[in-house]
Structure 1
Amino acid sequence: MSSARGSGASPVNPGAKAKEVLVIKLSALGDFVLALGAMRAVREFHPSARITLLTTPPYEEFAKTCPYFDVVETDGRPEGLKATNALLSRLRKAKYDIIYDFQTSGRTRNYYSVLSRAGKAPLWSGHHEKAAFFHDNPARAGMHSIDRLAEQLEVAGVAPQGRWLGKSAPFPDLGWVRPKLGDTPRLSPAYFGIQKPYMLLIPGASEHREAKRWPIENYAELARRIADLGITPVVIGGKAESAIAQELVKREPRVKNLVTRTDLFQIVALAETAVFVVGNDTGPMHMATLAGAPGIALFALTESNPDHSAPRGPRTVIVNSAPTLKELSVDDVWQSVRALGIAPV
């Protein structure tokens, strides 16, 4: 088990007395979404504090709508010495009662190092050996993001009455999206010309890691089988998936192409009423399963360990029976569709 470290007397988390709190989470989408449970825990533990999130531009709108933050700053990855100095100067002047580093990267470790040299070190929760609340578990790199952040919070004293100690970690919740945005048409499937029943296909993954991408011909065959059940396959993703989506529609015209057309809020809303979702190890897949869609997540044994990064929705099946996704057959995935009760056995 990890322990809190500091100089002199044991550090104490200010809890409800805190007035200014900083949370650092820069990227990536999947990691950001998986950190929402920990972010909520911070909000609940510091009910009267003004909580600032330091992040990057892709998450600005999402974070500003999220009920856990009062201020959102997006220069967490400044370019150049001048911008970096400006950021560090602002953090120093803010005099945060406590800082939660949920990124725990080399960059954010350096932020702590600089801030601690400038005078009194801020109360810091993260992976820095001189931090007041040092998450020093040597196995942390092999932990799932949700579990790792939960243990980091335990070290910082954010586990009142053992709420998740030895039990379940603070789980990401996306149920705030619709209440915050209201009954807006753009959150409806009909906004995109989609009628129920439908499902989501998420073929994206890191462009430089081909083994993490299930071949387009397999997605097309899966889409054909799904459409034959009377369920509309809907493909979502970013600009990098444009060519994939176009080829998918060419091979199976019953596919609805929403690539580049959905924002993060719309992904959540579409997932809430989707029959199910199938996708690679990518950020929107985490969002879809956390929003409640039954999910089938495709993992290549040589590329990703599901124990570290698998989606954790309430009904998620992990398919990881092949070294690379190229070797994963459509029948392998179809077995999971049957297991979810969507296709006849």
Structure 2
Amino acid sequence: MADLPTGLKRVLVIKLGALGDFVQAMGPFQAIRTALPQAEITLLTTKPFAGLAERSGWFDRVWVDSRPRGPLGYLALRNRLRGGGFDMVFDLQTSDRSALYWWLMWPGRPYLSGIAPGASHPHDNPARDRMHTLDRQRDQLARAGIADVPMPNAAWMNADLSSLALPQRFGLLVPGGAPHRPEKRWPADRYAALATRWAAGGLTPVLIGTAADAEWTSAIAAACPDALDLTGRTDLLQLASLARRAEIAVGNDTGPMHLAAVAGCRCVVLYSHASDPKLCGQKGPQVTILRVPNLTGLNEMDVLAACTALA
């Protein structure tokens, strides 16, 4: 274990990836801010999360990663990184891409918490690839001298929901997922069957998703007219606020379910063989992981039973 360098004035945090990656890094973000209250902290992230990062209060500056292409693009990025005058980099992405960004800062590269060869504070735990993301990041920061890393917390994420005409009682259904990973999605007709049972019991199903999920959410809404379809109508702050008000959320292994979990919503998350919750599973006060080899073999009564057990 190494000590956190003293006198750090300018710090760069790198976290790219999707929503789930950002949500799971919120604890480390907070820990770095708390450990370095006087430092100017810059986050390098992807465009969808820049506004959220600015709202969080953990960062003084937020840079959007343009994913450079060609020599001129990398030269521009190198000039920007070197111009930042950073004393230390916390590479929470720990990918070849983020390691390269640190290497681009030669000569005079700053301290690095990460896995790139030559890192001053290497995360060299041989078990790192078998650790849950939260445990891995906590271990990485401990080896850099930051021992107190809280769980991700979305209490700061608040938004006005008055325009959504929400019913008094509702549950969230999150049927989305990456189009190229259909094995991670519970079939739409099963979501529809669950929605129908919720509605019959007085709980309004509220469908959450982006425009890319519209084919699925439209099918569910058509099969369950009592459902409220908010596809494409909510931003991330509204999603966190919805999760706090919802009685329960059911969804696939997706970023919105990570956010619902840390917002404190009771969550049932559906997994197949395609992903391992031991490495990336949603964490929160009340989360049930329901994993089966193939989601096509999971019926709505099994999911309803999991929901009831959380009550």
- Confirm or deny a common fold (TM above 0.5): yes
Whole-Å separation in 2 of the counterparts to 1:132 and 1:241: 43
Counterparts of 1:213 and 1:79, CA distance in 2: 33
Question: Where do 5+ consecutive residues of structure 1 fail to align?
Answer: 5-11, 164-168, 179-185
Q: Distance in 2 between matches of 1:318 and 1:102?
A: 25
Q: What amino acid is the match of 1:85? A: L
Give the root-mean-square deviation of aligned CA atoms: 1.4
C-alpha distance in 2, partners of 1:193/1:78?
Answer: 43
Q: Does 1:335 align with 2:294?
A: no
Tell me by how many angstroms 1:93 deviates.
2.2
Q: Which amino acid aligns with 1:262?
A: T
Q: What's the CA shift for 1:13? A: 2.3
Which amino acid is the alignment partner of residue 160 of structure 2?
L
Give 3-state SS (helix, strand or coil) of 2:104's partner: helix
Q: Which residue of 1 aligns with 2:154?
A: 174
CA positional deviation for 1:76: 5.0
SS at 1:48's partner residue? Answer: coil
Match of residue 182 from structure 1: none
Match of 1:38 among 28, 31, 41: 28
**What is the aligned counterpart of 1:309 among 264, 280, 287?**
280
The residue type equivalent to 1:187 in the other structure is D
Identify the residue that residue 133 of structure 1 maps to in structure 2: 121
- Structure-2 residue corresponding to 1:8: none
Which whole-Å CA distance do the structure 2 matches of 1:105 and 1:77 have between them? 13
1:253 alignment partner in structure 2: 225
Q: Structure 1, residues 133-159: CA drift from partner, whole Å, max 9, x if none? A: 110122212211111110000110111
Partner of 1:89: 79
1:325 deviates by: 1.1
Give, as a single letter, the amino acid of the residue that structure 1 aligns with 2:109: A
Contact 1:126 1:134 (8 Å CA) reproduced = yes
Q: Give the whole-Å Cα distance in 2 for the aligned partners of 1:80 and 1:33.
A: 31
Name the residue aligned to 2:260.
Answer: 288
Amino acid at match of 2:24: L
Q: Which amino acid aligns with 2:283?
A: R
Q: The residue matched to 2:135 in structure 1 has which SS?
A: helix
Alignment correspondent of 1:206: 178
* Aligned counterparts of 2:307 and 2:154: Cα–Cα separation in 1: 24
1:51-104 superposed Cα distances (whole Å, 9 cap, x missing partner)? 100011111111110110010000252233322221121111222111100111
Deviation at 1:14, TM superposition (A): 2.7
The within-5 A match list for 1:177-256 is 177-178=157-158, 187-188=160-161, 190-256=162-228
Q: Which residue of 2 aligns with 1:109?
A: 99
Shift of 1:21: 0.7
Report the Cα offset of residue 319 of structure 1.
0.3
Q: How does the TM-score come out when normalised to structure 1?
A: 0.87
1:323 counterpart (283, 293, 304): 293
1:55/1:76 contact within 8 Å kept: no
Contact 1:57 1:74 in 2 (8 A): yes
Q: How many residue pairs were aligned?
A: 311
Moved over 4 A (4+): none
State the alpha-carbon separation in 2 of the partners of residues 251 and 240 from structure 1.
19
- SS class of match (2:220): helix
- Candidates 18, 26, 35, aligned match of 1:28: 18
Secondary structure of the equivalent of 1:225?
A: helix
1:13–1:98 contact (8 Å) kept in structure 2: no
Deviations 1:179-204 (A, max 9, x none): xxxxxxx522x321112211110011
Letter in structure 2 aligned against 1:13 = L
Identity score, percent: 41
2:36 maps to amino acid: H
